[in-house]
Structure 1
Amino acid sequence: MTSVVVYDEVVTAAERLAGIVFHTPLLTSAALDSAVGGRIFLKPECLQRTGSFKFRGAYNRLAVIPEADRAGGVVAYSSGNHAQGVALAARLLALRATIIMPRDAPAVKVERTRADGAEVIFYDRLTEKREAIGAALAAERGATIVPPFDDRHVIAGQGTAGFEAVADLAAMGITADLALVCCGGGGLSSGFAVGSKLPVVAIEPVNWDDVGRSLAGGVIVPVSDPQPTRCDALQTLRMSELTFATLRANHAVAGVVTEAEVARAVAFAFRELKLVVEPGGAVALAAALAGVVDLKGKTAIVVLSGGNVDAKVFAECLAA
């Protein structure tokens, strides 16, 4: 049986990351509260170092690599946000980093990954297995593989976002009823559930809702019909046993949003919140605005998980 990630691991990660990650604030919006009929606190991880929550898990994982294994560096695979998180963490910790990225990854994510000194190797996300490429490269170089979500240190690091959010609310004398969290492979949503101890709704884009199907069916169900989506950060074909077990242990549920709902959320964040949020980072907000999760009379945390978006895609969302 897979051992789930537990609260003490998130607490340890929070101590390790103190002074390294940004303690992102909780933001409120009268327009958002009015639109959903509840009290919403936004956790803007789009303001995190590298522009997404991924830096939390990446640094937490790299920081525990034994000295004897550091010479081989690290290998990671990512559509962009995990890539940037690993690249920066590796630079800060003086480790060599190689990132395997899909050929259709947003240019801004590729450029910023390289800017932090990482080597980028491209693959086709629909015809090639990034895990196989990563395993072969790691074996050749003696490198440590840093998965985007299938790793307890990564999940615990992501969970510090939930740990922070709940602590900040407690300091205001407020207790949230639930949290809406963006979800691809389940690293952030499972970590957030552990770190916040709140009921979590994992939000996915339509046609990429394997986590929701898996939680509903009690067994991991891969994406069966992958379709184009602006939510490049959430194009994960299969969750892991670890994220599945951790989400189930914390009684998480899931919700789905459409491409149109995501575009409206990106536009809302820009116009009302003055924030740049990428489509994959806006799915939780999209679920709130579209009523996918009923928030009337409730106090909720809504995560904005990333802000790394190409100008063309961002403009399309604003126009939509």
Structure 2
Amino acid sequence: MDLKRLSHVVALADECHFARAAERVHLSQPAFSRSIQSIERDVGMRLFDRDTGDVKPTPAGAFLVERARRLLFDARCLQRDAALYRDSQLGDTAFGAGPFPAATIMPRVVVALRKQYPGVGLRLETNNWELLHARLVAEDIEFFVADVRDVPADPKIEISSIGRQPAHLYARTGHPLAGRRCTFAQVWRCGFATTRLPKPMRALLARLIGLPAGQEPVLAVECDDVFLLRTLALTTDTVIGAPEAGLRDDVRAGAIVRLDVDDVPDVYSEMGIVTLVNRTPSPMAQRAIACVQEIAKAVNLPIGA
């Protein structure tokens, strides 16, 4: 029992006339009559009375027509929804972001996607790369964006670089170290807070504060929420390590200043988009990835810059 023949049954029930119904579905009357006879043979029941006057559905025909209408309506909805899904006007997607891109790239990405695809549901998870990696492998998210320096080689994932994000040390205006040259040891004594650091950065901090080999530094606050770190910097003497792009407005407003620390080299996060190998992202995820790549060009520096 196919949908086309069901549409012929509905057309005949509506028109109550073979010639008009055949014209409505663009068939010759003999071909239309054969279609109705074929479906009657399939269901083993007479669906229309043809003996006198206009054609009328039998009780069995009325029963079938009612359900055929619902089935045809659902089929049209499915066809429409599939087209909308293909064009990213329907459906949803879930993706993740590490602390730095969550503060610098994702606000613009989510706004852009909401404006362009208001019928789509978005779920953004912010966390460190380890937890996002686990979510990706479990297929709870379709991709994530993060600092990928510590992400291990894994045949199940693919990493696409989207550039570097510069990071610096910041404190509130009026901080004791603001406006003068200092060392990281002085910063450390004020309390240092930042996101979860990759191993090379932990080793650098340990060396700068003179820890014995193999001993890791314990930060005053380690938090993957850059906006909470910003609050710390604004309201206490805690010095924070944060992405330049995430604090640009506060620096321009004079609320936060970048510290001049002699012994800290230029620091960058190596940003990448992490996806599963041999998995085709949904149309919406593909558009979200393209949006991330476009916005990253305006926020990040190219690798090697």
TM-score range, shorter chain: under 0.3
TM-score (norm 2): 0.25
TM-score (norm 1): 0.25
* CA radius of gyration, larger in: 2
